Amino acid sequence: GIPASATPGHPPAGSRSASPTASYDREVAFRRVDFDLPVEKFHALDFTGAGNQLWVPRLDDRSTLVLGSTQPVELVDTARAASRGVTVARRRSGGGMVLVSSADVIWVDVIIDDANPHWTPDIGRAFEFVGAACARALETLGHPTDMHPARQSSSARPEICFAGVGAGELTSAGRKVVGISQRRTRDTARFQIAVLRRWRPGDYTVLLALDEAAREVAADELREVATGIDAPPSEVVRALHTALDDS
């Protein structure tokens, strides 16, 4: 969790302040905190008391398969993952697995507390605020998207995040581009956002605990379900920060 040396609203140990190029000339509603931590440690961070913050982990070219909070590790061929240099980790929010690396996704966490005007006790509706901000951000970068309605979900393979679409998530021409999961306490919510940079379903299916024939079938099923966004990560994060502040 957040180390004892940190206080709510201040960057915890292992984080670094946003660089001068990422700063703003106006006071912002959401404070950006950048983290230089392994993926698994970032996902283990406690978000208690961290309302109205934007958490941005530094990703590199090492791949981590991040499971949803309730997914059994038995879904994964862990020996095969290890042989390919892929770490298996778990996040505290729900949903399907996401392959995380600097080449695969842009990852941002949005944290709000119950003092935020967008707070709602309705878990399904809560996704809409974050999804709408993501949609505005991508629109400014030339990537129009459609937001999936609350209360509706569909999935080709529910074990994989980008194989299905849930409340507040974004699609482009019917293909998923943004996945959002949520973890909450009584008074704080942590929304975990993955903006897809590239979609290579074989990178997922090769890690699943399936036989070769089943892997081929799964890869074929997943070929057209998602697509990547061609935009620099720094611009996506900056646009999302602005969209959140202007909400």
Tokens 């399907």 — which residue? 96
Taking CB atoms within 8 Å and a gap of at least 24, the contacts of 17-21 are 18/56
C-alpha to C-alpha distances, 146 to 45, 85, 107, 165, 216, nearest whole angstrom: 31, 35, 19, 11, 30
CA 75, CA 209: separation in Å to the nearest integer? Answer: 5
Phi, psi of 167 (to 5 degrees): -55, 130
Cβ neighbours of 14 (radius 10 Å): 16
For position 4, what pLDDT does the model report? 28
For position 149, what pLDDT does the model report? 80
Q: Locate 11 and state its tokens.
A: 């960057």
For position 14, what pLDDT does the model report? 53
Phi, psi of 107 (to 5 degrees): -115, 130
% of residues, the chain, pLDDT over 90: 81
Instruction: Give the residue ranges of the chain where pLDDT is below 70.
Output: 1-28, 150-154
Q: What angle do CA 93, 14, 137 make, to 5 degrees?
A: 55
Nearest one of 83, 103, 81, 18 to 55, comparing CA atoms: 18
For the stretch 137-151, what's the b/e string if a residue is b when 16 or more beta carbons lie within 10 angstroms of its beta carbon? bbeebebebebbebe
For the stretch 211-226, what's the b/e string if a residue is b when 16 or more beta carbons lie within 10 angstroms of its beta carbon? eeeebeebbeebeebb
For position 15, what pLDDT does the model report? 53
Phi, psi of 132 (to 5 degrees): -65, -40
Nearest one of 156, 177, 180, 176 to 168, comparing CA atoms: 180
